[in-house]
Amino acid sequence: MTKVLIVESPAKAKTVSKYLDDKYKVLASVGHIRDLPKSNKKAIDIDGGFVPHYEIKTEKKKVIAEMKKAVKGAEEVLLATDPDREGEAIAWHIKETLGLEKPKRVVFNEVTKEAIQKAVENPREIDNRLKEAQEARRVLDRLFGYDLSGLIWKKVRYGLSAGRVQSPALRIVMEREREIRVFRPENYWVITARTRTEDKKELILVCAEEPKTKERAEEILKKAEKGEWQIKKTEEKEVKRSPQPPFKTSTLQQRASSLLGFSPSRTMRAAQKLYEKGFITYMRTDSLNMAEGARQKILENIEKNFGKDYAEKRVFRTTSKNAQEAHEAIRPTEAKMKKNLKSEDERKLYELIWRRTTASQMKDARLLRTKVIAGAGETPEFVASGSRTIFDGWLKASPESKGEDVELPKTKAGEKLGLQSIESKKKETKPPSRYTEAGLIKELEKRGIGRPSTYAAIMRTLGERGYVGKEGKTLIPTDTGDVVSSFLEEHFKKYISDNFTAEMENELDEIAEGKREYVKTLGDFYKDFRKEVVAKEKTEKLTNLGEAPEEFSCPKCKKSMIIKLGRSGKFLSCSDFPECHGARTIEGKELKESEPLGKDPETKLNVYVLEGPYGPYVQLGEKEKGKKPKRAGIPNEKEPKDVTLAEALKYLSLPRKLGEHPETGETISAGIGRFGPYVVHQKDFRSLKEDSPYDITFEKALQIVSEPKKRRGFRPKTKEKKGGAV
């Protein structure tokens, strides 16, 4: 009889199978095999105690069938999914789906022969507390996102979304953006003097005072040009630079972003592959601990390659109170660096991890820092700073951290200097910097928002939702992100605050520790949250996303205007909408009135391009009491600002009456609807595949509506879309 060991990925299965004998059959679940259905009504039984109802993923039916076949009659079944809450949940889903009574749970932090064999020899049961903590997070995120997203659809614009951790991250980006918007730059002058020492060495000095006015800068320049320059003081001080601890998930993502230009998602993809191949330890961790055996091998490798003078045992402790997994830091599984990795991303990331881990067990670098203070008579102090390396220590393994040595010429107090030139440059104070992905991850971790497994997903979601764009490494909120965040900050401030989000993370951690109950935690949250959502659903004022500046009154009725969000971004709408359709579009800081494109030659009515809650549209004539003007949507591929009068009239020509059916006498028309172009007769809609509704002939339309309609039950089967991870 065989033993079956189940891991998550095929790559990991391939690596693990090399370290086990022929008695073991290693299979992969390929991630989660069950998920919550998309419909919230089916997904969670709230009244029954927040019970999730899982469905088997369509694409996993074949995998499940293979696993069922393998475990049938097996001597032993071992579940070796990843060593975190997500992995614990996957193991539980496999157990439930395959109907396993007492499978063994094995956990290893690195895919090496020693670690795998040790794990197999020391199995345990599935940890229900870890599984419940993962389930609580999943259910909580679904309840939060589903309810708030539905409200945003109604009150802001269809298709937008909110998330329990994603929304606080967006709020942090927007808070910084508002600081930048209100920032007012101030002038200052930087004064630089080029001098020569008595032994003819160049010494560049910078004025310690940065004048705020041109007059003060010129005053300093005059005194500097007339005065006698000399060294006032020379300071030399030896300082130490200690190595940083080995990587955890957040610091790996930050360093890979700043040094390699990798996005968090790209970093985690490469790290996942390195882990599955057995090159590094598990990559989702907030621990700085390192196994003693691994540390000893690293020290031996340092002594062998760099010398005994470089090795120093260091033990780093995890300081974060939120650290929830008993993992190690991210480190290479072997002390000696592996070479010739085929993937460039994997090679670069592996080398980064190896250098950081090795450096963490090396001696301090010693630097000599020099500061020279000089002046000329009554001038403010002028300063020059430099440093040089005395002993490189850990920098030998991590040269990218070294920086350049800037050595100053030898000087002494009272030494005369010769002024070669002096100049002042006008500069402006800079606003706070926008976040990069690395900076935002650091800020989230500092505030206790998110966990190692969520940082990459947060960054990815902000981009995919169109809430944040990127210029190089810089994150810039879009109009849509601005509006969504402003809406949530105004109406759900508590639920996207730092304190609430961090405290919720702590409560989820306490479920994993057995200190808090699943049902009570979710119940305490959802009771108040749902009450606030329902209350806001009844508040019509939520459709207003802010008042427009006073100087922008309605171009038609002169009343005040409000900010709304359409498909093309923010726009200003008359506060008396829908009675008055006055509107202005916003393009950066420039505002344009919604003037008519021209007149329809037949009706002599004005034609407008307007923005509505479902996107931009064209309108024929003005809105009159009891009479709705004719309107038509603008195609998605067309920018509203580029629509011409001829195009607008073309859009307004639909639906077209083509003629009367010879048998029924009813009209056949052509138009464009939710599902694309069509022809219709007696409410029988037929899609147009090749013909355009603008020029299809009556004869062709009659032929289409006369053909037998295809029965829906006989449509060819197609694969269902893949569901997301639980």
Catalytic residues: 282
Nearest-angstrom CA–CA distance, 308 and 91: 45
Nearest-angstrom CA–CA distance, 18 and 1: 19
What 3-state DSSP class applies to 105? strand
Nearest-angstrom CA–CA distance, 583 and 617: 12
> Taking a C-beta distance cutoff of 8 angstroms, is the pair 115, 83 a contact?
no
CA dihedral 92, 97, 100, 102 (to 10 degrees): 10
- Looking at the chain, the number of H-run helices and the number of E-run strands are 19, 28
User: DSSP alpha helices (H): ranges in 24-127?
Assistant: 40-43, 61-71, 85-98, 113-121
> In the numeric block, which tokens belong to residue 726?
């639980």
Residue 543 is given by DSSP the state G
CA 494 and chain centroid, separation:
22
Nearest-angstrom CA–CA distance, 478 and 470: 10
Q: How many CA atoms lie within 13 A of 512 on its CB side?
A: 22
User: DSSP alpha helices (H): ranges in 156-279?
Assistant: 166-182, 214-226, 249-255, 264-276
By the 10 Å C-beta count (0-12 exposed, 13-18 middle, 19+ buried), 589 is classed as exposed
> Taking a C-beta distance cutoff of 8 angstroms, is the pair 290, 331 a contact?
yes
CA 162 and chain centroid, separation:
13
Cα–Cα–Cα angle for 177, 181, 182, nearest 5°? 120
Q: Where does residue 465 fall: left (phi above 0), alpha (psi -120 to 50 degrees), or beta otherwise?
A: alpha
Nearest-angstrom CA–CA distance, 172 and 485: 9
What 3-state DSSP class applies to 293? helix
Nearest-angstrom CA–CA distance, 605 and 628: 14
Instruction: Enumerate residues 6+ apart whose C-beta is below 8 A from 329.
Output: 245, 246, 247, 248, 281, 285, 287, 288, 289, 290, 316, 357
Nearest-angstrom CA–CA distance, 114 and 134: 29
Nearest-angstrom CA–CA distance, 348 and 141: 35
Helix (H) or strand (E) holding 676: strand 676-681
Edge-to-edge strands of the sheet including 656-660?
656-660, 667-673, 676-681, 684-687
Annotate 425-441 with DSSP letters as a single string: EEEEPPPPPPPBHHHHH
How far does the chain reach from its first CA to its final CA, in angstroms? Answer: 33
Nearest-angstrom CA–CA distance, 143 and 139: 6
By the 10 Å C-beta count (0-12 exposed, 13-18 middle, 19+ buried), 377 is classed as exposed
Instruction: Enumerate residues 6+ apart whose C-beta is below 8 A from 596.
Output: 606, 607, 608
